Amino acid sequence: MQFENNIHLAYSTNIHRGNTWAETFASLRDDTMRVRKEVGAASKPFGIGLRLSNEASLELIQPQVLDEFRRWLDANNCYVFTINGFPYGNFHGARVKEQVYVPDWQTPERLDYTKRLFSILAELVPEGGEGSVSTVPASFKAFITEMPQVEAMRANLIECARHIEALSEQHNCDLHLGLEPEPFGYLETTDEAIDFLGQLCMSGLDSDMIQRRIGLNYDTCHMAIQFESAAESLAKLVKHHIRISKIHLSSALSVRPTDSARRALREFVDPVYLHQVVSRDASGSKARWVDLDEALAAPEDSSAEASEWRIHFHVPLYAQPDEAMATTVAHLEETLDFVAQHPTVCSHFEFETYTWEVLPPHLRTESVVEQLTAEYRWCFDALAERGIADS
């Protein structure tokens, strides 16, 4: 949906199962249209945050299939303004973990997939409009051990920027890619992202073009886990002229690792997704674990309960888990406060609680539509409170 200051909001359809285009379209036709009805947006243009696997993108890029989808969007008063291009393959029901970064930006497969997503998006974005794609944080940090790997990532991203630039000119629209930092990714923090994107601009022949076409997908859950301040992070990005391509509205778990909290956290261990943990004690010292089960298995020390754990487990925006746990929703709210003060900093917003299938029973709604509807209402209220959108 579109609000004041050209701000668009959608949910990421990566919450739904679907690896083929037929499966993806079925979830749009059934679940997305039900959500739209439940939030009372039947008469308004409805923005879609599309998730396409590589397989689905190969099918949708076919002219007849793409024409049929465009006609469906028009008939249902819907539009696609953003695509989640982070997960390349299957994203539900089987082990994903660190394989979500595969293939990474070293590879021609990641480049070809992302270029294809932009070719699709260019056909869907209206003339004069804007379209974004979010992607992996270059790679998983443990995968990158040599400088030639970094150089390969830079070269592929520059080629992608050229493709995006050509499409933008051809279709008279503004297309851009957002690298998405997260814990244990090759890009984790704001400072790492600024440094990498700065180096990327210096390594290309046209730094203005690269800066225009490649920026950051700012995920509020991911940055909160790093104990970053949203206001400081966003101000740094603005100062260094980093394009904020999209903002993911998401919330993570935050706990004091007491015995009761540790017991409760066992419900959040699952075999599908990676749940990175960052801990900070009273002195500011940090400890890190690549997954929640490793954090729970680590030896406890006497001062552990004075520390705070932040866990990469996306929980519903409205969630109040229990008295042993909290969430990082304050970072999300601080992000929206910054947007209210700087309304042109970013125009694409997407909420992304893809974990519905693996949520513990006390946090899981009866249907995915019920969760998405409640999250839309949370967003509407949060935007209206800040004057970003009408209530």
Q: What angle do CA 348, 350, 355 make, to 5 degrees?
A: 160
Residue-level pLDDT at 222: 98
Q: Which of 23-32, 132-141, 254-263, 272-281 has the lowest mean pLDDT?
A: 254-263
Closest C-alpha among 46, 48, 52 to residue 22: 52
Residue-level pLDDT at 305: 65
More confident residue, 245 or 127: 245
Say if CB 353 and CB 375 are below 8 A apart: yes
pLDDT band at 42 (very low <50, low <70, confident <90, very high): confident
Mean pLDDT confidence for 298-314: 83
Residue-level pLDDT at 302: 58
Residue-level pLDDT at 163: 98
Tokens of 24: 């993806």
Angle between helices 63-75 and 108-124 (to 10 degrees): 40
Say if CB 331 and CB 224 are below 8 A apart: yes
Mean pLDDT confidence for 81-93: 96
Cβ of 338: how many Cβ atoms within 10 Å?
22
Q: Which residues pair with 280 in a beta bridge?
A: 286, 308
pLDDT tens per residue, range 343-387: 999 999 999 999 999 999 999 999 999 999 999 999 999 999 999
More confident residue, 2 or 304: 2
% of the chain beyond a pLDDT of 90: 89
Residue-level pLDDT at 227: 98
Mean pLDDT confidence for 174-191: 98
Q: What angle do CA 387, 390, 391 make, to 5 degrees?
A: 105
CA–CA separation, 185 and 277 (whole Å): 13
CATH class entry, domain 4-250+327-385: alpha beta
The structure's pTM equals 0.96
Mean pLDDT confidence for 97-105: 97
Where along the chain do its domains lie?
4-250+327-385
> Three-state DSSP class for 44?
coil
Q: Is 107 exposed, middle or buried (0-12, 13-18, 19+ CB in 10 A)?
A: middle
